[in-house]
Each structure stands twice: as C-alpha cells, then as structure tokens.
Amino acid sequence: MSVTRRQFAPAAASLAALAATSPAFGQPTSENVKWRLTSSFPKSLDTLYGAAQTICRVTGEMTDGKFALQPFGAGEIVPSLQVLDAVSNGTVECGQTYTGYYIGKNPTFIFDGSVPFGFTPRMHNAWMMFGDGRKLMDEVYDSFKVVALPCGQTGGQMFGWFRKELKTPADLVGLKMRTAGFGGKVMAKLGVVPQQIAGGEIYPSMERGTIDACEWVGPYDDEKLGFNKVAKYYYTPGVMELEAVNQLFIGKAAWAALPPRYQAVLKFACNYAMTEMLASYDAKNAVAIARLVAAGTQLSVLNDEIIKALRVALEAVLDEEAAQNEQFKKVLANWRQFRASQHRWFSIADTRAENAVYRSDRT
C-alpha cells in the first residue's frame, strides 16, 4: 500500500516547520543516500519485521527513491540481540529493535520499552510527547551514540504460555521461562528462572523441554510461532507488558549527515509504521485468539494472589535498580509520578467505559 497525500497530512505540521529553517525544503534534492537497516526480528514475523519494511518503503516513496533503506532480518548482518551494538559502533546506519533487550547495558532502557504494570500505548505517548519522557530517554541514547525514533507498538500483550496451570505464586518457582527485558527480573523475584531467547528460538526450546514456559507478544505472532502446539495454558492479563515500543536506532553521525528533509521523512515513516503496527495487531489478535481457543488452547486468567505478588516484586526491583543507578533513579521518579496520574485518569474514563460496554455486549 502506497502512502497517499491524505495519509501524509498528519506529518504536515512537523514538515512545514522545516520550511522556515531550510530554504531548500520542499524542493527536489539530487542527494542520494543508501542505508542498511538491520532488525532484531525474523522475516517470518510479518508484523514485527513488517514495520522495518514499511519504514524503508515509505521513506523511498517520499523521496522518489533517493533515500534508500535496505532491510535485513535478524541474523543476516548481526544476531537478533546485537542491533544496538551494530548501530552504536557504525556497522550499520540504523536498526529496528526493542530496548528491553539491552537492559544489561543500562536498565534505564526499559522505560522506553515496556515496564510491567506500566503504561498503555496512549499513556506512553503522553509521557514521551507531553511529559519529560523524550528528554530523559534522549539522555540515555546519547551515551550510546544513537538517535532513537519510535517505530513500532504491539499494544497489550499476553502473560504467556505454560505447560501447567498457575494456581498460586508457588507454581512459578523453578519454572524456566523465556521472558525478555525487565519482566525477567520481576519474575525471578518469584522464583522463575528467566531465559532471554530470540523469537525464532523459542519454539524449539519449548519443544525440547529446555524451557517450561514462554511469552512473546500476543495471539497472532504466538500462533505463527506455534506455541499452542507445545503448551496448553495461555494466560491473561498481560500485566507485564501493557505495551511494547520498538525503536529505530540511528547512529548519531549518520543522523547528523542526513539533510533536514530526510530526517523529517524518516520521522514520519517511523511514526506511520508505529501506527500501522498497532492497528495490525489489534485486528489480527482478535481473530487469532478465537482460532487458538477453537483449536484447544486453554485461555486462563491469573488470580489476584499472583497479580499482587507480581506487583510487589516489580516495585522491589524498581527500587533496587534505582539504588544502584542514578540515571535509572531519576527517570523512575518522573515515570512513577506520571504513571500515577495516568492510571487514575484512565480508571475514571476509559476503563470504566470499556467495561460497561463489554458487559452490555453480553446482555
């Protein structure tokens, strides 16, 4: 699908702002730029990896092919979990990835990814655009010599796939579970043995019994990866990831060398890809969950005891990280304050209204 002039309209304000500072803005440019874009996601995941393809396509369409990005799937240039390193050291100009993969380098990365019991996509956008999120996170990215543009959003995820039922927090003890990002630290507090495994390696690990449980994204991707064939119980609510933002990391030198018009185009392409990904998951997950249940998946609900234990574990982990990392502490204080106001407002507005509508659907 090509980007039409009407679809381009939401970016008009940001693009128009450049006109005042760039005499050449809006005029054809003869400058040709070719970049490689490496992804953390395999090509088989059409929605996650598809966002990288969308960025490349839209950028090309808006520059008549003069700014050409070539996408590469996980492992084609660098391994799935090494995208940040590849961009930071200049191996590639840019890469599509999830910040939670890099909390070992700096735990503060998780605030622009997905914090358990945290933000929904709309809350996250509010923090980044009208709170202090953008400024605080750019300080983190600067230290890794990258510019970050949000380029994907999964929306709410599921809690995960398990071979056995979860009745109390004790049932989590000793479970080897594939869980990425900050969620692994939280789960470890309850006795889980977290395993950070790239998406394409999860199914064989479950099949061999190397791990006992896993989480990835949601029904559409999970079905595509075959998790329903190796685990029976599929748990909700996904309190560990109410969202998951993907970033396009760009080397600072490469970004600085781009003409201002190309920078604006790339920002728009990333924003377009993020909107498209969220809409795609919302549409696909609704259909996929029905297929999974019809095929025998046991849709299960975490009880209040387990949810409370997870929340207590989260706040303990956040406090521990803050005690060890001043940058994390600074961002956490701001994030917690913003989260409190957002959760209060959404509980008054959206949550009550949505629950009322869902109850009326069943009458």
The CATH code of the domain that includes 125 is: 3.40.190.170
Asked whether residue 235 is domain-assigned, the answer is no
Predicted confidence at residue 333, as pLDDT, reads 98
Total domains, the chain: 1
Rounded to whole angstroms, the Cα distance separating 80 from 90 reads 16
Asked whether residue 213 is domain-assigned, the answer is no
Asked whether residue 91 is domain-assigned, the answer is yes
Predicted confidence at residue 258, as pLDDT, reads 97
Q: Which two tokens stand for residue 254?
A: 């490469």
Predicted confidence at residue 362, as pLDDT, reads 77
Q: Long-range CB contacts (< 8 A, 24+ apart) of 275-281?
A: 276/51, 276/54, 277/47, 277/48, 277/50, 277/51, 277/54, 277/152, 277/153, 277/154, 277/246, 278/121, 278/153, 278/154, 278/155, 280/47, 280/50, 281/47, 281/154, 281/155, 281/217, 281/218, 281/220
SS3 label, residue 160: strand
Predicted confidence at residue 20, as pLDDT, reads 41
Domain range for 148 is 5-156+242-283
Asked whether residue 163 is domain-assigned, the answer is no
Rounded to whole angstroms, the Cα distance separating 84 from 342 reads 30
Predicted confidence at residue 363, as pLDDT, reads 65
- Three-state SS letters, 117-158: CCCCHHHHHHHHHHCCHHHHHHHHHHCCCEEEEEEEECCCCC
Q: Note the pLDDT tens digit of each residue in 42-56.
A: 999 999 999 999 999
Rounded to whole angstroms, the Cα distance separating 39 from 72 reads 6
Asked whether residue 342 is domain-assigned, the answer is no
* pLDDT values of the chain reduced to their tens digit, one per residue, 363 residues: 445 444 544 444 444 444 443 434 344 456 999 999 999 999 999 999 999 999 999 999 999 999 999 999 999 999 999 999 999 999 999 999 999 999 999 999 999 999 999 999 999 999 999 999 999 999 999 999 999 999 999 999 999 999 999 999 999 999 999 997 789 999 999 999 999 888 889 999 999 999 999 999 999 999 999 999 999 999 999 999 999 999 999 999 999 999 999 999 999 999 999 999 999 999 999 999 999 999 999 999 999 999 999 999 999 999 999 999 999 999 999 999 999 999 999 999 999 999 999 989 876
pTM of the model as a whole: 0.89
Asked whether residue 228 is domain-assigned, the answer is no
Asked whether residue 80 is domain-assigned, the answer is yes
Predicted confidence at residue 17, as pLDDT, reads 44
Predicted confidence at residue 22, as pLDDT, reads 41
Asked whether residue 101 is domain-assigned, the answer is yes
